[in-house]
Structure 1
Amino acid sequence: MQNTSVRIWDLPTRLFHWVLAICVVALVVSAKMNAMDWHFRLGYATLALLLFRLVWGLMGGYWSRFARLFYTPSQIADHVSGRKDHSTGHSPLGALSVIALLAVLCLQVASGLASDDEISVSGPLTRFVSGEWVSTATWWHASIGQYLIYALVALHVFAIIVYALRGKKLVGPMITGDKLLPPETRSSRDSVATRLYALVLLACALGVAWWVSTLGSF
């Protein structure tokens, strides 16, 4: 049976992906340029994006849900060996990459909120934790955390290149949302109603991020 265009990535997931990528790059640039005001603004924006994704991973389109990110060891082995294709949504290796990157980004944002450079800037959560925790968060944020992100992003880009060389395009579907697949493949909901719902969730996430940003001024 001939393959047909199937909606795999809903619009909220696609926008999250690209806006998060832009924020991560801008965070690195602002840190290297010591533009800390912008670094904090971008950090709060990233916090909002991650909060949105955590909820969207439970309620979003079928292939965007966290339930679709977990594979058994045998499924991972089948995919790596080429015995079976598990790439309708995220492949097993891609799913591991997504989980790792989201986890590290969450930890990086959290550590940034509790960091203090003891010169001019401090995160809004420093007043709520001990000096030892602040020191640990500052160390992690400025060293281990950022290098983990570099490594995971590099691995992500490398995987995209490898898959492209094997004839599997990953960037295109993350732009259009669609893949050519068997017509019986389950598609993701991506209606006006779900997009409006995602917009409400994002507004709530932005509200939480704004509230967190005000904690340091109390």
Structure 2
Amino acid sequence: MSVKVQVWDLAVRVFHWSQVLLLVGLWYTGNEGLMAQHQLMAYTLAALLIARLSWGIYGSATARFSHFAASPLAALRYLRRPKPVLGHNPAGSYMIFFLIFLVSLQLLTGLATFDNSYISDGPFVRYLSADWVSLASKIHKLNIDLIIICVAIHISAALWHSWRHDNVILTLITGKAKGADGTAPNLTKHSWSYFVVTALLLALFYVWQGEMLLKFI
């Protein structure tokens, strides 16, 4: 008999859906030239991401990178015979790591991006050579397209998996999934430290750049 067990803690779920909303907002504000709002969203995403990287080391069992890191062979075996797992599956873990890398790259290059205006220039532009700033700006513009492509693949895979196997989308909303039996272990713990780290980072970014950016909204 299968029962519902807690798979994802609140920290993982808040990060996941906040990242979705912020990426949409960053894409829109970037295209519309709303650069103060764009940068504020970028710093918010940076705080959430850095806290998530920390949570991936000391957080809940299923949130830890060591829990879902898998070999290429394990990922291929999973693709041949998909089945419900408690946490990220071996194939999906590669997309998770790749998206974290791409979003990190986008945030870092944004700090060094030149856009011919004081508001939208990254804070590191003044400290770097013109060649480095030009390279960062090019990567920043190209990388967002790669992020969109990967997100589309990720969503398609999640929809397919939810249809054919277990509803991973619903699990990321409720945090619960079907376990093998009633003895399934508790894979999560309290997420308060994740939100403390996020709040501290947001405060740091506000003091550094946020207060100035709010004047342009």
Return the TM-score normalized by structure 2: 0.90
- The Cα of 1:169 is off from its aligned counterpart by 0.7
Structure 1 residues 199, 22: CA separation in 2 closer, same or farther (over 3 Å shift)?
A: same
- Helix, strand or coil for the counterpart of 1:5? strand
**Aligned match of 2:9:** 10
**Distance in structure 2 (CA, Å) of the matches to 1:140 and 1:44:** 18
Aligned partner letter, 1:109: L
> For 2:114, what is the secondary structure of its paired residue?
coil
Residues 176-215 of structure 1: pairs in structure 2 closer than 5 A: 176-183=174-181, 184-190=183-189, 194-213=190-209
Cα distance, 1:155 vs structure 2: 0.6
CA contact (8 A) 1:47 1:209 kept: no
Q: CA 1:86/1:173 → structure 2, altered by over 3 Å: closer, same or farther?
A: closer
1:61 matched to 2:60: yes
Counterpart Cα distance in 2 of 1:212 and 1:54: 21
- Where 2:177 maps in the other structure, the secondary structure is strand
Q: What residue is the counterpart of 1:116 in the other structure?
A: 114
Q: Which residue of 1 aligns with 2:171?
A: 173
- Match of residue 145 from structure 2: 147
Runs of at least 4 residues off by over 4 Å:
none
Partner of 1:51: 50
What runs of 5+ residues in structure 1 fail to find an aligned partner? none
1:164 deviates by 2.2
Cα distance between partner residues in 1 of 2:8 and 2:19: 15
Other-structure match for 1:37 = 36
- What is the root-mean-square deviation in Å for CA atoms of aligned residues? 1.9
Give the unaligned 5+ runs of structure 2. Answer: none
Please report how far the alpha carbon of residue 210 of structure 1 lies from its aligned counterpart in structure 2 after TM superposition. 3.0
Shift of residue 86, structure 1, vs aligned partner? 6.3
CA positional deviation for 1:58: 0.7
TM-score normalised by L of structure 1? 0.89
Q: What does the per-residue CA deviation read over 1:110-161, in whole Å, with 9 as the maximum and x for residues that have no partner?
A: 001110112452011112222211110111111x211111111101111012
Could you say if the C-alpha distance between residues 211 and 96 of structure 1 is closer, same or farther in structure 2, counting changes exceeding 3 Å?
farther
Q: Number of matched residues?
A: 210
Q: Which amino acid aligns with 2:166?
A: K
